[in-house]
Amino acid sequence: MEDSAVMTSPLRKPFIAGNWKMHLTLAESLALAKEVRSGCGQNGPDVALCVPFTAITVVAGAVQGSSVLVGGQDLHWEAQGAFTGEVSARQLADAGCRTVVIGHSERRRCFGETDETVNKKLKAALGAGLVPIVCVGETLDEREAQKTYRVIETQVRGAFAGFSPAELGTVVVAYEPVWAIGTGKTAAPAQAQDSHTFIRKLVARAIDEKLAAGMRILYGGSVKADNIDSLMAEPDLDGALVGGESLKAANFVRIIQFKTQAGMERKA
Q: How far is the CB of 156 from ligand 13P (least distance, A)?
A: 17
Helices (H) and strands (E) in the chain, counts: 12, 8
# residues near ligand 13P by CB under 6 A: 14
172 belongs to the binding site for ligand 13P (CB under 6 A): no
Residues 6+ apart with CB under 8 A from 110: none
From the list 157-165, 190-198, 218-226, 231-239, the region that binds ligand 13P by CB under 6 A is 218-226
Binding mask 85-104 for ligand 13P (x = CB under 6 A): -------------------x
Query: DSSP secondary-structure letter at 195?
Result: H
From the list 56-64, 82-90, 198-206, 221-229, the region that binds ligand 13P by CB under 6 A is 221-229
SS percent in the chain: helix, strand, coil, step 5: 45, 15, 40
As beta bridge partners, residue 15 has: 46, 239
Coil, strand or helix at 45: coil
List the one residue out of 211, 209, 241 whose CA is nearest residue 135: 241
Residues numbered 10 to 49 that lie near ligand 13P (CB under 6 A) are 19
Would you state the torsion angle of the CA atoms of residues 209, 210, 211, 214, taken in this order, to the nearest 10 degrees? 120
DSSP 141-185: HHHHTT-HHHHHHHHHHHHHTT--TTTTTT-EEEE--GGGTTSS-
Of the pair 130, 223, the CB lying nearest ligand 13P is at: 223
Of the pair 5, 24, the CB lying nearest ligand 13P is at: 24
242 belongs to the binding site for ligand 13P (CB under 6 A): yes
155 belongs to the binding site for ligand 13P (CB under 6 A): no
Which of 103, 132, 221, 235: binder of ligand 13P (CB under 6 A)?
A: 221
Which of 182, 190, 250, 265: binder of ligand 13P (CB under 6 A)?
A: 182
Which of 103, 235, 243, 263: binder of ligand 13P (CB under 6 A)?
A: 243
Question: What span, in angstroms and rounded, lies between the C-alpha atoms of 159 and 229?
Answer: 30
From the list 25-33, 113-121, 199-207, 220-228, the region that binds ligand 13P by CB under 6 A is 220-228
Which residues here bind ligand 13P, judged by CB under 6 A? 19, 104, 176, 181-182, 220-223, 241-245
